[in-house]
Chain A
Amino acid sequence: MEQFIEWISQPWPWYVAGPLIGLTVPILLLVGNKSFGISSSLRHVCAMCVPANIPFFKYDWKKEMWNIVFVVGVLLGGFVATTFFSNPDIIVVAESTQRDLAALGITDYSKLLPVEIFSWENLLTGKGLLFFVIGGFLVGFGTRYAGGCTSGHAIMGISSLQWPSLVATIFFMIGGFLMTHVLLEPLMKMVGF
């Protein structure tokens, strides 16, 4: 048992994690004829809590409860894996990434997210505004405008050979490259890194 815990506590390689994530596609299809997608849950929350008579949020969200339950499961899964099988060592990323991030003032690899950015102390500062408020807003606005996220488009859409999803995925990557290589450094300097 101890050995099992030790084995399962190691970070999993991509060729284990990727296929497991891919299996979610047929599992959801066969279990309940559901198309894999996560960002829709944000729309269902809006429809449930603040529909405000907006046509986009006027639909029977009760029929989409499975999607809300699924993301609650994802949250619980994060808790279970972190609490019971978490990797005790620091996270190891490529040396070149470590160098690039050190230049931006990010050097703490003790957790999966850099505590220099993702902590409550930063909430009411420019750092919090940039990474939590603006970052979150872009994710929510962008995924809904695109009609899906990495799960709905990149994985479910491309798996089912739908070219609009490939277009969406290409533009996800273009946005990410632009932010990482061009905008991130000046923005981080602006908020005090």
Chain B
Amino acid sequence: MKVEEKVKNIDPVECEAPNMQANSDGLLKYLIIGILFGAVFVKAEIISWFRIQEMFRLQSFFMYGVIGSAIVVGLVSIQLIKKFNIKTMKGETVNIPKKEFRKGQIIGGFIFGLGWALTGACPGPLFAQIGSGFSVILVTLLSAIAGTWVYGRFSDKLPN
């Protein structure tokens, strides 16, 4: 009991584990959505280190177009879901956890940016790169898991 309360207090952002309320049933659908999503990553060359270099060098509109249009579609969909009170398949009201502002979004965001330009990948594309046959990216993934662990280990000592 005590431990659980402690966990709640230390959990800095709700978005980190936003779906605690759901049960782990019907996982197959997430596998299928993931497969389609990963395939899009490859087909649009979003997993390419070259494309990320192009983006940070401001030499192509491509990645800005991808991220920008993804945001527009996400934004319009969420507005439609809210306006027409569209329920989930199970009939629940759609719940989007609020993200609280903290210093981590600045410091952590900056640190991630440094890594993004080196690896040419955010976490999603890392998985798709491995699937595409770049087996050495397994090392990058393990290191990313290690980075996550180290953050977790020292999260209470970092400015938040």
Interface residues of A (CB under 8 A from B): 8, 11-43, 45-46, 50, 52, 54-60, 62-67, 69-82, 85-86, 91, 93-94, 96-97, 100-101, 109, 111-114, 117-120, 122-123, 128, 130-165, 167-181, 183-184
Contacts and interface: CB of A to CB of B under 8 A. Distances in A.
A33 B143 contact: no
A114 B136 contact: no
Given A17-B43, A33-B95, A142-B112, A66 B155 contact: no
Contact of A33 (B40, B53, B88, B118): B88
Contacts of A130: 118
19 contacts: A13-B44, A33-B90, A34-B19, A39-B123, A66-B27, A69-B30, A70-B31, A78-B39, A78-B128, A79-B131, A81-B41, A93-B51, A112-B48, A131-B140, A138-B114, A139-B116, A141-B112, A159-B75, A160-B78
A176 B38 contact: no
Q: Identify whether the interface residues of A are mostly helix, strand, loop, or mixed.
A: helix
B101 A163 contact: yes
A11 B157 CA distance: 45
Interface residues of B, number: 134
Given A46-B149, A139-B112, A179-B113, A33 B144 contact: no
A147 B16 CA distance: 6
Given A23-B77, A167-B101, A74 B37 contact: yes
A157 B122 contact: no
| Top 6 A-B residue pairs of the complex, sorted by shortest distance between their CB atoms | A73-B34, A175-B113, A77-B38, A145-B108, A78-B131, A22-B73
Interface in B67-96: 67-75, 77-78, 80-81, 86, 88-90, 92, 94-96
Contacts of B142: 136
Given A14-B62, A150-B67, A172-B116, A85 B109 contact: no
B44 A144 contact: no
A122 B135 CA distance: 13
A57 B154 CA distance: 12
Contacts of B37: 21, 24, 70, 73-74, 77
A151 B105 CA distance: 14
Given A136-B115, A179-B113, A74 B34 contact: yes
Contacts of B68: 18
B107 to A, nearest CB: 6
